[in-house]
Structures are given as C-alpha cells and as structure tokens.
A = this chain, B = another copy of it.
Amino acid sequence: MSAATPAPRMTRQRREILEALDTRDFRSAQAWHERLRSEGSTIGLATVYRGLQSLADQGEVDAVVAESGETLYRRCEAGEEHHHHLRCRGCGKAVEIDVPEFEAFAHRIAEQHSYGDIQHTIELTGICPECAAAGKD
C-alpha cells in the first residue's frame, strides 16, 4: 500500500460542516447546506457534498440511502462501532439499534453461497411520536 489517505485539510468550511452536524437527525446534503446558509455561512453546495462524503469515509458521519434514492447524513458518535438505525421518515430523527448476532448470521449466509466481500444494510424506518401527532401518516 503506497498511498495512505492524505488527511483532509481543516478548512473553515469543513469546520462549519462539523459544527452544523449537532442534531441527531438524518438530513440530505441539500438540507444541511440550507441550514448552513441560513446561519450565515457562504459555503457552497458542492463543498457540502464533498465534505459529507469525506466525513462519511472517515466514519465521522453515517450515510444512508433513503427509498427516494437520496443520501441522508448525520454525525456519528466518535469512534463508534458499526451500527444500525430506527429512523423517522418524517423528520429524520433516529435512534441506534443493536441487532445481536446478525453480523455472524450475514457471514454464515454469504459463505453458504460462496459470495465474497460481503456488506449489509439493516434499516428500520417509521413515524416518530411527534410526527405522528403532527399528522404525518
């Protein structure tokens, strides 16, 4: 391995993105961008996309693909382990869930079928109490 990832520079924009990611909600890149702008930042949309992707690669943020096909992001607990979510389709609020024994199950199944380089997705979505009360069903 010749190219160790060349640590991203800490620019004003990157810092702003990190600071904006304070809520526990999953939001789209465009939504985070809007928020940053509404708080006075002049950051560009492309920069938000690049920043969030880079942070996701580093494991600093979680990224999930919604049914609509758009990618949603939220800050991840520092150095947290691999995990899954129960996410609200209305507001993006999510809680982390533990799926005991699933990791092992996945590998067993993969081996049975001789599939390699396994990845898995487990996402639960629903409507949170607040959104339900607001009539989003």
Contact = CB atoms under 8 A, between A and B. Distances in A.
Contacts of A99: 105
A109 B97 contact: yes
Interface residues of A, number: 35
B120 A122 contact: yes
A110 B124 contact: yes
Interface in A95-114: 95, 97, 99, 105-106, 109-110, 113-114
Interface stretch (A4-12, A17-25, A47-55, A126-134): A126-134
Contact of A70 (B69, B109, B113): B69
5 contacts: A69-B70, A109-B124, A113-B128, A120-B124, A120-B125
